[in-house]
Chain A
Amino acid sequence: MSRSATPLQKSLVDVDSEFCKGCSLCVVSCPQRNLKLSESFNRLGFHPAEFHYHGEKGDCTACGICYWVCPDFAIAEVRRVRR
């Protein structure tokens, strides 16, 4: 699942929401708080994680922590603006 990006966003995290089991590991590990569990359900009945570039503590830095902690490969890609 792809997500559109604006030129202002320096990074982008793609969540495969159908893989997500709503465990919240990415939510509590993201230093900037860019991930939240959605109020809607995926097909498995979980609340999937949603990416917000502007997090509670700051903008996503593409650090990749969410990618490494996700047990379900649901954090599919972490991208950053090509310098």
Chain B
Amino acid sequence: MTVVQGAPAAEYEVKLGRLSTLTGRPTHYCAGCEHGILTRLVANAIEELGLRERTVLVDSVGCSVFAHDYINTDAVQAPHGRAPAVMSGIKRVRPDLMVFAVQGDGDAVSIGLLELLYAANRAEPITIFLVNNAIYGMTGGQMAPTTPEGMVTTTTPQGRDVAETGRPLDATKLLAGLDGPSYVKRVVLPIAPMGSTDLYSARGPLEGAKSVLNAFKVQMRGGFSFVEFVSTCSINWKMSVLESKRFATETLAKLFPPGLYKDKLGVEKG
């Protein structure tokens, strides 16, 4: 542990510090966005496992498209939605590498649903983190398959009409219903307002850190792992940062309930 010399009488040790798995570049994410929080959780887990030199990030298309600018591992850019297919190829050729992706809900559940389902069904030993902010963030806020009923987006100005577009798709439940995956979990990542106090709970990010670590451990033991992070997009939801935290943790969390949906290898038990 690094020791930092403070004032003459006090010696400080770094409890939590800078990560070599982060490039040190500032992100392009909007203020308060979970894409940034997840970046640190992923970097922390890779560092804790000592796998920086053996990890490949496969970029999706969406706000996470520049994840390689921030995460200091090797990276390959996949076409929109195709990360699971590209990951399968890399992993089959180099099974010694840890292969993971951060996908958006548009990327993974809309254009790329087929690639996701088949990679999961084939039980490819890869790890996918899904940032579900219920909208197409990068392109300016169009409806996604995950958009809740009634939500106003640029393509549903009257609110999402489920009679016309079907009900919101639940990727976690779809994957948990397959035989292939070893680990399927959903975490509500944003900080959450706590009752009448003005304090917010950090349970989401803390639970997220644990889940990212477990997902990587599952891949190391040969399983397919998937964690969905219910997230926000305050910019496109047209909310303040803190309003978006309330919406995600109170409304979206009902539509997409958090939980451990599958843990074949029992990694959560330790």
A-to-B contact residues, CB < 8 Å: 4-7, 9, 11-12, 18-19, 21-25, 28-29, 31, 46, 62, 64-65, 67-73, 76-82
Contact indicator B6/A68 (Cβ below 8 Å): no
Q: What number of A-B contacts does a CB cutoff of 8 Å give?
A: 116
Assembled-state Cα–Cα distance A41/B182 (Å): 47
Given known pairs A28-B242, A64-B15, A64-B16, the reply for A82 and B3 (CB within 8 Å) is yes
Residues of B within 8 A of A11 (CB): 12, 15
Residues of A within 8 A of B202 (CB): 29, 65, 68-69
Contact indicator A69/B191 (Cβ below 8 Å): yes
| Interface class of chain A by DSSP | loop
**Among residues 4 to 45 in chain B, which have CB atoms less than 8 Å away from a CB atom of chain A?**
4, 6-18, 22, 26-27, 29-37, 39-41
How distant is B156 from chain A, measured CB to nearest CB, in Å? Answer: 27
Is the interface on chain B under 10, 10 to 19, 20 to 34, or 35 or more residues? 35 or more
Interface string of B155-194 (1 = CB under 8 A from A): 0000000000000000000000000000000000001000
Assembled-state Cα–Cα distance A24/B190 (Å): 13
Of all chain B residues, which has the CB nearest A57?
Answer: B199
Assembled-state Cα–Cα distance A15/B15 (Å): 14
Of all chain A residues, which has the CB nearest B40?
Answer: A73
Listed by A's residue number, 12 A-B pairs whose Cβ atoms lie within 8 Å are: A19-B26, A23-B31, A29-B200, A68-B206, A70-B40, A71-B29, A71-B37, A71-B39, A72-B29, A78-B14, A78-B16, A80-B13
